[in-house]
Structure 1
């Protein structure tokens, strides 16, 4: 059945000599994997790999069959053309990192239009942003809302936050309790939107520590979630 869909590319894998398997988050069906036969042929005008850079935003005409694990694409074009996220080395590092996180975190093969819109809008924001060194921190924190483990935004005056329960607490409950600078940053990020990121002033060490805390929070709440391999490159770029 030929249907139309919008998609955000999460990952791609070369298959055999000329084929690609592409994993996408789609507007209509959540996670979908596609096989593109002959996608990496080098003939002029026939190389389709340009469409499948990390987090590219696409319009697809697909031949969708519900019982098939790998779907086919009949036609493809960009739904949004980035101007900087794949050419700016700093933004590119963020995009590669976030694509790996999303590929690891998103599993559902069902429609979630609000999550798709969040990804679409925030990535377009990153493309046009002039100040973005903390973008990935707020992106991940706001992503928790759509994944079902958003930190509560009550009792933020309490001196501890429990990573396991996701709530602020009066007492230190051991290994999962955070305080100090990470707690201060968490409270700050919970109270802002992307347009306010410029007001958050932190150094590379603080950014690194807060990101590690966020990733551990994901590990606690998402079964099978692993720290992205691209984290080291991201940290080096923003050192």
Structure 2
């Protein structure tokens, strides 16, 4: 039986001579795998809609192991991302992280809307690293792994000086509790406040301020460790590429 979904292509792998296997994050059914037969032929009507980053309407039917693509129509291509290496690099990391965190066929409207809004902003704005750090914090929280930043995760006292971030305890530790995790990472109060700001503040307000690059770098290192622990993924190729370019 045919059915229609709206989704964005997270990943595409060439298969056989003319086919592709697509990883699509759909609004209605979550992340799914679909085979697009003949889509690599030059005259295929589905070429545009099945490109990575394309937000499209797909008409599918369920096969034995994969969904099968019947028809597709592009809603938004996000083509401008391909004209700028920095935009493309950060947007690729956003897709890679999204793909890593999602369970197949589990819907999450908040994440779907967050993903589209993040890509829209990367297309239009230039604060890629700032928006990416905000996405990491919001995304991991929507998955159910929100880091505890409001007060000490152990004793719930206010955080002032000598703060540490504990991966084991998934949050910040005060000076009195830092000894419970000897592997915790140093976290200054300014970085902590920026993390809270990025987590709880809408993108529109985040874009109105300029955050120090060193603070963003520190947050990025903390979040990579936190994400790796919770998603059991330690290597993000697109993030490695960003770091190799020093952007």
> C-alpha root-mean-square deviation of aligned residues, in Å?
2.4
Alpha-carbon contact 1:141-1:214 (below 8 Å) kept: yes
Question: Which residue of the other structure, out of 140, 148, 153, is the alignment partner of 1:152?
Answer: 148
Moved more, 26-35 or 174-183: 174-183
Moved more, 9-18 or 108-117: 108-117
- Unpaired runs of 5+ in structure 1? none
Moved more, 227-236 or 24-33: 227-236
Counterpart CA distance in 1 for 2:97 and 2:117 is 18
Aligned-residue offset at 1:130: 4.2
Counterpart CA distance in 2 for 1:109 and 1:176 is 35
Aligned-residue offset at 1:225: 1.8
TM, length-normalised to structure 2: 0.83
In the alignment, structure 1 residue 176 sits paired with structure 2 residue 191? no
- Unpaired runs of 5+ in structure 2? 153-157
Alpha-carbon contact 2:49-2:77 (below 8 Å) kept: no
TM, length-normalised to structure 1: 0.85
What is the correspondence of 1:40-55 to structure 2 with a 5 Å cutoff?
40-42=40-42, 45-46=43-44, 48-55=46-53
Counterpart CA distance in 1 for 2:96 and 2:164 is 30
Residue equivalent to 1:142: 138
**3-state SS, counterpart of residue 128 of structure 2:** coil
**3-state SS, counterpart of residue 232 of structure 1:** helix
In the alignment, structure 1 residue 219 sits paired with structure 2 residue 215? no
Alpha-carbon contact 1:105-1:225 (below 8 Å) kept: no
Q: Where in structure 1 do 4 or more consecutive aligned residues deviate above 4 Å?
A: none
Cα 1:53–1:136 change in 2 (3 A) is farther
**3-state SS, counterpart of residue 237 of structure 2:** coil
String of CA shifts for 1:155-208, please: whole Å, max 9, x gaps: 2751233222223321323213441365454234234322223414222x5544
Alpha-carbon contact 2:39-2:47 (below 8 Å) kept: yes
Residue equivalent to 1:15: 15
Counterpart CA distance in 1 for 2:165 and 2:129 is 24
Counterpart CA distance in 1 for 2:52 and 2:210 is 27
Residue equivalent to 2:82: 86
Aligned-residue offset at 1:98: 1.6
Counterpart CA distance in 2 for 1:78 and 1:134 is 29
String of CA shifts for 1:27-59, please: whole Å, max 9, x gaps: 1111111111111112xx326443333332111
In the alignment, structure 1 residue 103 sits paired with structure 2 residue 99? yes
Residue equivalent to 2:62: 64
Alpha-carbon contact 1:100-1:230 (below 8 Å) kept: yes
Aligned length: 233
Cα 1:212–1:53 change in 2 (3 A) is farther
